[in-house]
Chains A and B, each alone.
Chain A
Amino acid sequence: MKLEILNEIIQKKSSSQNFALLTNLTNGNSEIFEFGKLLSNDFESYKKQIENYHSIKKNGVIDGTQIFIQNFTKPIEVIIVGAVHIAQYLVDLFKNLNFVITIVDPRKFFITDERFPNVKIINDWPEEIFKKLETDSNNALITLTHDPKIDDPALKHALKNKFFYIGALGSKKTHTKRCQRLKESGFTEEEIASIHGPIGIKLGGKSGPEIALSIVSQLVLESNKLLLNSKK
């Protein structure tokens, strides 16, 4: 592989882009693939298959060819509302996964550099923050305060902007009330049902680290769904 390709991968990864590295296993040529990019003769005739593999983030030797595709995907941007102790455990667990985290909380005693030393924090109301933050389907939202004043505006924003994952901490009772409020605000049953509440997969644990683990597990599972479904 040429050094210039290695450098291009490093640069693209650091600027969080979606792309793939293609390698022709018969002659050793490599090239970067992105949607809409013109490919060289080595790869152009396999473009359709390359696009299919890339769209479901599938790595491998493309069926019936000698082309190896390795996908590099932009990290999922997770917004955590509530600088509570579960958020601290979440930061630890997300550290080695392909996620970028931002923690928001309007309460200044919660959201301090001492409590969250290695992560982006914003001390403001979610409503204000979302006015400035660009978000889309590559975002995930985790609400942890179970205070409607703080959580609800974030949930509404996430639903409207089609976040790929939305999870809200709180008991079944809290969640039922939350759903009722969202219904009154005009959200459809389907939209409301897309919220993971109570948040997390069932691991049976109740401690902070265990809840954090169940949230991270659910998010990882959701982020791998496209690929999992393609194997069925």
Chain B
Amino acid sequence: MERQIKRTILEQARDWFESNRKVILARVIQTWGSSPCPVGSNMIVNDKGEFFGSVSGGCVESNVIEECLDLLKNNNSFKQLEFKVSDDNAWNVGLACGGEIKIYIEKINS
């Protein structure tokens, strides 16, 4: 049987960069209350909107992807995002678990 090689998120980021994609790294930097992903969890997003990894177990990923694409559009290099408890509106992005997280997004540049 062939040895299975696990591709890490950061290796994937490098591969994207080398194939001329624009790449954003998103990392959980602070959490309050219960949150599904610990500090240090990361996710990468490219300019096509493809992503790997996770920062919340599914709750805020789509919003983070949009923020990453905005960062690229506005030609900024980094930004902090904060997500709090969701209200009753099911379509609102938020953390159903009642936690709060701060996410730092940054562009990979040469």
Least Cβ–Cβ distance between A217 and chain B, in angstroms: 18
Least Cβ–Cβ distance between B30 and chain A, in angstroms: 6
Majority secondary structure, B binding face? mixed
Closest A residue by C-beta to B18 = A3
Report if A28-B14 is in contact (Cβ < 8 Å); known contacts: A70-B27, A71-B40. Answer: no
Q: Interface residues of A, CB < 8 Å — how many? A: 19
B85 at the interface (CB under 8 A from A): no
A6 to B110, CA, bound (A): 10
| A118 and B40 contacting across the interface, CB-CB below 8 Å | no
Q: Interface residues of B, CB < 8 Å — how many? A: 25
Least Cβ–Cβ distance between B27 and chain A, in angstroms: 7
Least Cβ–Cβ distance between A103 and chain B, in angstroms: 15
The A-B contact count (CB < 8 A) is: 54
| Interface positions of B (Cβ within 8 A of A) | 1, 3-4, 8, 10-11, 13-14, 17, 25, 27, 29-30, 38-40, 77-78, 80, 104, 106-110
Contacts of B39 in A (CB 8 A): 59-60, 70
| B14 and A7 contacting across the interface, CB-CB below 8 Å | yes
A1 at the interface (CB under 8 A from B): yes
In the complex, which residues 1-56 of chain A have their Cβ closer than 8 Å to any Cβ of chain B? 1-3, 6-7, 9-10, 13, 23, 25, 28
